[in-house]
Amino acid sequence: MARWWLGGTAVVVVAGLIAWFGLRTGDKPEPAAGGFPNVVVPAPVSAVAGSGSGFLIDAKTTISSDVPDLGSYLASQLQPLAGVTPAMGASGSIQLRIGGAPANVGESGYQLVADSKGVIIRAATPAGLFAGIQTLLQLVPVRGTHAVPSGTIIDYPRYAYRGAMLDVARHFFTVDQVKKYIDEIAMYKLNYLHLHLTDDQGWRIVIKKWPNLTTHGGSTQVDGTPAGFYTQADYSAIVAYAASRFITVIPEIDMPGHTNAALASYPELNCNGTAPALYTGITVGFSSLCVHKELTYKFVDDVISEIAALTPGPYIHIGGDESQATLPADYATFVERAQKIVLAHGKIPYGWHDLSNAKLDPATVAEFWGTSPNQTMIGKAVAAGTKVVLAPANVAYLDMKYDDSTVLGQTWAGEIELNTAYGWDPASFIPGADPANVLGVEACLWTETIRTSADIEQMVFPRLPAIAELGWSPASTHNVKAFDQRVAAQSQRWKLLDINYYRSPQVSWPDWS
Ligand code: TNX
């Protein structure tokens, strides 16, 4: 058992299972305490204490990186934390190295070694280095001396898919707001950003062959306030920015329901040839593309073709949820054709688990958003070998209120306090599912009641780090008390970076003032 003394706090590391023994219930973490075991979210796979005082980040610190962009990224991120922007140098005191990490870190993990002389992060890929950088940034104490504690972390993800979904249809968010969100989810090692680009209330991405989708269909949002949309260049800028943070963007075009904005923009898409008015309410389940018109499939093909060309990632999400206005047989017909169109454009079809009411292509991925793991629909799909991403609404829907006093959000799936968001296991969530068919987890933020970046942050912090940890950290690290303490430590950086968050009463938040 190694003991690790940091600012008077004893950190004990036992065989990679991390706990902070210096705290009893009710104790406040010390604001100045560093030490990676008790601060890092998601919890690393293993962390072993070193001896000595750790590495002091100061004006003499330099960075050398095998991936130049990552060196400058790290320098820029250290600036607000440590008050210095390290220069690049051939033999930096912080080194980012491709190669030399233990084989078990795989393609996405890293090894981080810190001692009094410096910090070395090693990984097989730039993505692994980026994950290691996120850990390093969490290890730098914001207060007092900026000393990274000495020790060794070996870390890699439990699941390949760790996503966040942002609904930009109900309320529109600008490119800059989405970039800010990308930076925030990157802090917690998420690697997919799913953008819900279309819904009854708005169509947010230009489709050159169908321009009225955005000029008319993107003009309003919930409440009827003016809204906007992304040009294809805007969208590509989001995709590129996400890629620089090793995040893959997944576009969602929600069909055949949730399509009022499209139907309002083109009368010919409606079975009766008449365009409905734009919709600015929040009730769902009333709209459907006209399944029996051949033009509908020309429309879908045109849209998917342009979206596929803007999408370097493997998935296109076709929605498929809550199509109450589509007859069941029509729904099946539509989904089967839509899957083929996505495949024909070289992408993997992905959709809400309602898709499993149709015959699924073996490649299609289903996103589970139900509140009961026993829902037969998903059970059947999973039994048939469909790969799933878990976003159960009663634990992973970040638009649900925390408690009765939460101003923003909805309650249809329940109230979700921090420990509820954290309190489930993706591997065993759906009874009978082969754990190998669980691709990962997603934290979803629907925006009927969310209007600003501060609103987004209020709902996702601290719950998004909880879902991120379920996706990244081994089940053996799952410990609610330890998690709440590590989340408490995150708040110092949120305060510094002006990130809004909910002060859950389940956490002993330190006083950083
Ligand atoms: C259900 S989840 C929806 C969305 C709403 C959300 C609000 C899903 C696939 N559909 O249309 O925005 O609830 O929580």
How many other C-beta atoms can be found within 10 angstroms of the C-beta atom of residue 513? 5
Question: Residue 458 C-alpha to ligand 1 middle, in angstroms?
Answer: 19
CATH number of the domain residue 294 falls in: 3.20.20.80
Residue 377 has pLDDT above 90, yes or no: no
Structural domains in the chain (count)? 2
Question: Residue 316 C-alpha to ligand 1 middle, in angstroms?
Answer: 18
- Give the list of residues 6+ apart from residue 328 with CB closer than 8 angstroms, or none: 357
Give the Cα-Cα-Cα angle 184, 189, 194 (nearest 5 degrees): 70
Closest C-alpha to ligand 1, atom 6? 446
Q: Is 109 exposed, middle or buried (0-12, 13-18, 19+ CB in 10 A)?
A: buried
- Give the list of residues 6+ apart from residue 440 with CB closer than 8 angstroms, or none: 159, 160, 161, 162, 163, 389, 390, 426, 471
Average pLDDT rounded to a whole number, residues 453-476: 98
Pair 110, 236 in one domain: no
C-alpha pair distances (Å), 475 with each of 48, 80, 121, 159: 18, 33, 24, 11
What is the domain extent for residue 385? Answer: 161-472
Per the annotation, the verdict on 252 as an active-site residue is: no
Pair 134, 184 in one domain: no
Asked whether residue 502 is domain-assigned, the answer is no
Mark out the alpha helices in 232-389 (DSSP H runs): 232-244, 260-265, 294-309, 328-344, 376-383
Residue 92 has pLDDT above 60, yes or no: yes
Average pLDDT rounded to a whole number, residues 409-424: 98
CB of 369 within 6 A of ligand 1: the answer is yes
Pair 408, 303 in one domain: yes
Average pLDDT rounded to a whole number, residues 421-441: 91
Closest C-alpha to ligand 1, atom 7? 446
Question: Residue 446 C-alpha to ligand 1 middle, in angstroms?
Answer: 7
Closest C-alpha to ligand 1, atom 5? 446
pLDDT for residue 33: 32
Pair 423, 445 in one domain: yes
Question: Residue 248 C-alpha to ligand 1 middle, in angstroms?
Answer: 22
CB of 368 within 6 A of ligand 1: the answer is no
Asked whether residue 503 is domain-assigned, the answer is no
Pair 288, 327 in one domain: yes
Average pLDDT, the chain: 91
Pair 125, 193 in one domain: no
pLDDT for residue 52: 84
Pair 150, 174 in one domain: no
Asked whether residue 492 is domain-assigned, the answer is no
Q: What is the distance between the alpha carbons of residues 223 and 185, in angstroms, rounded to a whole number? A: 28
* pLDDT (tens digit per residue) in 3-36: 332 332 333 233 222 332 222 223 333 322 334 5
Pair 339, 447 in one domain: yes
Give the whole-number percent of the chain exceeding pLDDT 90. 84
- Nearest ligand 1 atom to the CA of 413 is 14
Pocket probe for ligand 1: among 167, 282, 286, 321, the residue whose CB has the most ligand atoms within 8 Å is 321
Helices and strands (H and E) in the chain: how many: 14, 22
Question: Is the peptide bond prior to 256 cis by the omega test (within 30 degrees of 0)?
Answer: yes
Pair 253, 131 in one domain: no
Pair 442, 302 in one domain: yes
Asked whether residue 78 is domain-assigned, the answer is yes
Pair 79, 200 in one domain: no
Residue 418 has pLDDT above 70, yes or no: yes
DSSP states along 237-263: HHHHHHHHTT-EEEEEEEESSS-HHHH
| pTM of the model as a whole | 0.93
Closest C-alpha to ligand 1, atom 12? 446
Give the Cα-Cα-Cα angle 205, 358, 285 (nearest 5 degrees): 55
* pLDDT (tens digit per residue) in 167-203: 999 999 999 999 999 999 999 999 999 999 999 999 9
Pair 122, 218 in one domain: no
pLDDT for residue 32: 28
CATH number of the domain residue 79 falls in: 3.30.379.10
Asked whether residue 204 is domain-assigned, the answer is yes
Residue 421 has pLDDT above 90, yes or no: yes
Residue 400 has pLDDT above 60, yes or no: yes
